[in-house]
């Protein structure tokens, strides 16, 4: 069976950035399971996997536009230090409520009374290099299609 819309796909992957640093990997863990064409993984990786079968290995280079997006300068803001309770240091993460819903924001700089925060995804602007092996492709159950995600190993577990 080939990877196509609504197929359940299980992959092992290693993600590297342009510098060759490993950012994430499923190796040594359960493979990642997702439903093709439902936005469960980034668009560029779905495109690269379309038509593949179990056992296929591929290297996919994915530009930011098809990954986690380009950096949005409007999500970088300066706020006064007094807006924070307690200690504020670069690298701290917190959840901010925005018009578009909750968003993870990271403190990128603290200088004097001003704190710079960045609401971009940590991988925004990055070209992503995926080393992927397809381990299984199967038909989704009706329940999985109704939920829009995979159940069982590598997928969602309902309790
Ligand atoms: Zn479910």
DSSP H or E run through 136: strand 128-139
Distance CA 62, CA 106 (A): 24
User: Residue 159 pLDDT > 80, yes or no?
Assistant: no
State the distance from the centre of ligand 1 to the C-alpha of 80, rounded, in angstroms: 42
For 16, phi then psi, to 5°, come to: -120, 155
pTM above 0.85, yes or no: no
State the distance from the centre of ligand 1 to the C-alpha of 151, rounded, in angstroms: 6
Tokens of 31: 């493979």
User: Within a 10 A sphere around the Cβ of 116, how many other Cβ atoms?
Assistant: 15
Q: What is the pLDDT of residues 47-92, one digit of tens each?
A: 999 999 999 999 999 999 999 999 999 999 999 999 888 889 999 9
State the distance from the centre of ligand 1 to the C-alpha of 147, rounded, in angstroms: 5
State the distance from the centre of ligand 1 to the C-alpha of 109, rounded, in angstroms: 40
Strands 22-25 and 101-111: unpaired
Tokens of 9: 């796909």
Q: Which domains does the chain have, with CATH numbers?
A: 7-68+124-147 (3.10.50.40), 73-118 (2.40.10.330)
State the distance from the centre of ligand 1 to the C-alpha of 152, rounded, in angstroms: 9
């Amino acid at each position: 069976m080939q990877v196509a819309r609504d197929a359940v796909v299980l992959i092992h992957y290693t993600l590297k950035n342009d510098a060759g640093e490993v950012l994430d990997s499923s190796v040594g863990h359960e493979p990642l399971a997702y439903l093709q064409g439902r936005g469960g993984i980034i668009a560029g990786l779905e495109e690269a996997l379309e038509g593949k079968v179990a056992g296929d290995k591929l290297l996919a280079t994915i530009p930011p536009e098809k990954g986690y997006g380009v950096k949005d300068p409007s999500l970088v803001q300066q706020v006064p230090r007094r807006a924070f309770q307690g200690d504020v240091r670069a690298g701290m993460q917190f959840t901010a409520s925005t018009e578009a819903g909750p968003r993870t924001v990271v403190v990128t700089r603290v200088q004097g009374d001003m704190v710079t925060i960045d609401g971009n995804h940590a991988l925004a602007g990055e070209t992503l290099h995926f080393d992927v092996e397809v381990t299984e492709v199967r038909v989704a159950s009706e329940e999985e299609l109704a939920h829009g995600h995979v159940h069982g190993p590598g997928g969602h577990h309902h309790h």
